């Protein structure tokens, strides 16, 4: 008695029959049975793919986040403008390390991580990692413009990642890891564009350093990431951080 390790549909030596090879003993089926079996396999596969696609893009519910920042002890969500604070939104790879790069700065009031730039409302981490939502992992920075300028935040942004990498940062690969600056007003847009030109000038002065691919777009809707992602590296000091810059960025000595 013959056995096979996987499913295969092929012709037998007898006309009008087809052979099904599996881990069960070999048997022959009439053509009509073979056709029905194949149609069932195709139908089940299509339904599985359809279900996965729907799950990956279906809207969820808003994430519940802690009342206070794990490190700074300030709110993660509030009417910050009413308190005189401004917002900045950046995508520079895995948001764990990105957030830590900003919460250490003097003048930063609060930080949080989330998803932005896609089409799915209130996405989950799993959905974003599927690549079907269009979202990027981002860090939202709440800062006091009287203590730290937007340009200083951009200096950290450019220094802490490789803006020449398209849809990846180091070993983290996918559209969710794309590099992006998402501005809240025209002043932020102009500063972002000028600092990009400044950094590109530095790269152009060194042979073979490539071109910056950072997208500069109006700030889209920001969706908080799950609680366990917030201030992840403070809660897990030995946690993964793939963040790393090129090593040649130098802040401009002039206000841009």
Tokens describing residue 201? 């000038």
CA-closest candidate to residue 174, choices 99, 115, 223: 115
The residues, any chain, with a CB within 8 Å of residue 18's CB and separated by 6 or more, are 9, 10, 11, 12, 28, 29, 31, 34
CB 195 within 8 A of CB 156: no
Structural tokens at position 233 = 């590296």
Residue matched to tokens 């006309």: 15
In angstroms, the CA 78 to CA 59 distance is 23
Q: Are 228 and 236 in contact (CB under 8 A)?
A: no
**Catalytic residue (one of 94, 129, 241, 248):** 94
Report the distance separating Cα 19 and Cα 234, nearest Å: 59
248 is catalytic: no
Q: Rounded to an integer, what distance in angstroms lies between the CA atom of residue 64 and that of residue 171?
A: 30
Nearest-angstrom CA–CA distance, 180 and 212: 11
* Contacting residues for 120 by C-beta, under 8 A, at least 6 apart: 57, 58, 59, 60, 127, 132, 133, 134, 135
For the annotated catalytic residues, the residue numbers are 94
């Amino acid at each position: 008695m013959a056995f096979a390790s996987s499913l295969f549909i092929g012709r037998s030596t007898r006309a009008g029959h087809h052979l099904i090879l599996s881990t069960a003993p070999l048997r022959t089926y009439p053509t009509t049975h073979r056709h029905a079996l194949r149609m069932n396999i195709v139908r089940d596969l299509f339904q599985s793919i359809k279900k996965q696609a729907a799950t990956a893009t279906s809207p969820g519910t808003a994430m519940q986040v802690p009342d206070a920042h794990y490190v700074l002890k300030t709110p993660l969500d509030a009417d910050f403008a009413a308190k005189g604070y401004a917002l900045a939104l950046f995508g520079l790879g895995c948001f764990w390390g990105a957030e830590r790069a900003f919460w250490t700065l003097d003048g930063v009031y609060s930080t949080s991580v989330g998803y932005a730039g896609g089409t799915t409302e209130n996405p989950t981490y799993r959905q974003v990692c599927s690549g079907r939502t269009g979202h990027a992992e981002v860090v939202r920075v709440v800062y006091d413009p009287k203590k730290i300028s937007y340009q200083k935040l951009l200096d950290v942004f450019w220094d802490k990642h490789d803006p020449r990498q398209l849809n990846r940062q180091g070993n983290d690969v996918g559209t969710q890891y794309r590099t992006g600056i998402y501005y809240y007003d025209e002043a932020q847009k102009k500063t972002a564009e000028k600092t990009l030109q400044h950094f590109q000038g530095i790269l152009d002065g060194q042979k073979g350093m490539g071109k910056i691919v950072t997208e500069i777009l109006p700030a889209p809707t920001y969706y908080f990431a799950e609680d366990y992602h917030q201030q992840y590296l403070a809660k897990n000091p030995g946690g993964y951080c793939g963040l790393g810059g090129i090593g040649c960025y130098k802040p401009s000595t002039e206000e841009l």
